[in-house]
Amino acid sequence: MAKADKEAKISELTDKFRDSSAVLLTEYRGLSVGEMKDLRRALGSDVSYAVVKNTLATLAAKKVGFDFLEEDLNGPTAIAFVGGEPVEAAKALRDFAKANPALVIKSGAMDGQLLTQEGVKQLADLESREVLLAKAAGAMKGKISQAAYAFAALPTKVAQLSQALADKRQDEAA
């Protein structure tokens, strides 16, 4: 590869590292071309899954401050550049790795921090953003309902108390 081509590839990889919401490193040794196609399809349109030269990827990762990925950029490495929801990509990789043991999840990076192999698995175990938002909205709605009930109960209690007081005075007067 000519020096200009290498520099262009490093620049392209640097942009991908910078623009991705998460980066997930995998080892694909033993996967067939058909299985790689299936994996790309499973990852969806928001994820770019590419086999890269480790030296070029290491240089690009260093440019964006992902020096910690250098340790896992060895052997046959493919990188999933996640443009959308990192949880969905991690789930797709985890599920594909369960069905195809030849795929090994190495590590990753999200929000400028290292994701270990265990961290990627924990990310995959999270519920999707939509589910978490729906749960939060439900919890807030429940608290609002409780507050509305408490505020409505206060005048009712005052009215009942004043009626009981009036009845008591009437009984004492009689």
Domain holding 52: CATH number? 3.30.70.1730
- Beta partners for residue 110, in sequence order: 22, 113
Answer yes or no: do 14 and 43 share one domain. Answer: yes
Helical axes 86-99 vs 33-43, angle rounded to 10°: 150
Q: Alpha carbon 143 to chain centroid distance?
A: 27
Answer yes or no: do 86 and 148 share one domain. Answer: no
Contacts of residue 18, defined as CB under 8 A and 6 or more positions apart, other chains included, come to 64
Answer yes or no: do 119 and 145 share one domain. Answer: no
Answer yes or no: do 41 and 89 share one domain. Answer: yes
Answer yes or no: do 26 and 111 share one domain. Answer: yes
Q: Is the pLDDT of residue 143 over 80?
A: no
**Residue 152 banded pLDDT, cuts 50, 70, 90:** confident
Task: Provide the pLDDT for residue 120.
Answer: 86
Task: Provide the pLDDT for residue 82.
Answer: 92
Per-residue pLDDT of 74-124, as tens digits, reads 889 999 999 988 888 999 999 999 998 889 999 999 888 888 888 888 888
**Residue 157 banded pLDDT, cuts 50, 70, 90:** confident
Contacts of residue 75, defined as CB under 8 A and 6 or more positions apart, other chains included, come to 27, 29, 54
Answer yes or no: do 64 and 8 share one domain. Answer: yes
The residue count of the chain comes to 174
State both tokens at 96.
């594909």
Answer yes or no: do 96 and 135 share one domain. Answer: no
Answer yes or no: do 36 and 59 share one domain. Answer: yes
Domain range holding 158? 130-174
Q: What is the percent of the chain with per-residue pLDDT over 70, rounded to a whole number? A: 96
Answer yes or no: do 20 and 104 share one domain. Answer: yes
Answer yes or no: do 35 and 100 share one domain. Answer: yes
Q: What does the buried/exposed string (b/e) look like for 98-119 if buried means 16 or more CB atoms within 10 Å of the residue's CB?
A: eebeebbbbbbbbeeeebeeeb
Q: Is the pLDDT of residue 145 over 90?
A: no
Answer yes or no: do 98 and 78 share one domain. Answer: yes
Q: Is the pLDDT of residue 127 over 80?
A: no
